[in-house]
Amino acid sequence: MFDSKVAVLVHEDLPVWQKLNVTAFPATGIAGAAPHAMGEPYEDAAGRLHAKLLGQPILVFAASTEVLQRAWQQSLQRGLTRSAYVRAMFETGHDAANRAVFRAQPAEAPDLVGLGLYGPKKDVDKATKGAQLHP
């Protein structure tokens, strides 16, 4: 149905609260980086407007460190829109600190615990190969 795909890969060994947090951050990154993928605002029965959501499903995958690293490399090679969450971000308390610890990561192999991807379906499928849909 869609030519594009949105996927979030989350490290499989995180506690549940961290998995939820890590899923939310990259999803918002994709929404911000791909405004054309957003749907229209929602309106309730009283006529009140509510925020837009992405106009297509977000597939959430559980991934090992190796699968996350492979997806990272594939996303770079294929030019996918990506958002990342690294382990060091758990120790920060605000956006500027998050960006600083991300910048300090090795460019080719950051310590990923979450990765959001958006792009052509076939390219996202290749990048997420080996990841399993999160149970």
Is 116 part of a structural domain of the chain? yes
Is 54 part of a structural domain of the chain? no
Confidence of residue 114 (pLDDT cuts 50, 70, 90): very high
Q: How many domains is the chain built from?
A: 1
Is 56 part of a structural domain of the chain? no
Q: Whole-model pTM? A: 0.94
* Residue from 16, 14, 131, 11 nearest 65 by CA: 11
User: What would the mean pLDDT of 57-64 be, rounded to a whole number?
Assistant: 97
Q: Report pLDDT for 1.
A: 81
Q: How far is CA 67 from the centre of its chain?
A: 14
Is 76 part of a structural domain of the chain? yes
Cβ atoms 61, 132 nearer than 8 A: yes
Confidence of residue 116 (pLDDT cuts 50, 70, 90): very high
Q: Report pLDDT for 43.
A: 98
Is 114 part of a structural domain of the chain? yes
Is 49 part of a structural domain of the chain? no
Domain housing 111: 4-37+61-133
Task: Assign residue 106 the CATH number of its domain.
Answer: 3.40.1490.10
Q: Report pLDDT for 135.
A: 85
* Residue from 115, 102, 120, 93 nearest 8 by CA: 115
Is 42 part of a structural domain of the chain? no
Model pLDDT for residues 83-113, shown as the tens digit of each residue: 999 999 999 989 999 999 999 999 999 999 9
Q: How many CB atoms lie within 10 A of CB 6?
A: 25
For the chain, percent of residues with pLDDT exceeding 90: 97
Is 29 part of a structural domain of the chain? yes
**Residue 49 pairs with which residues in a beta bridge?**
43
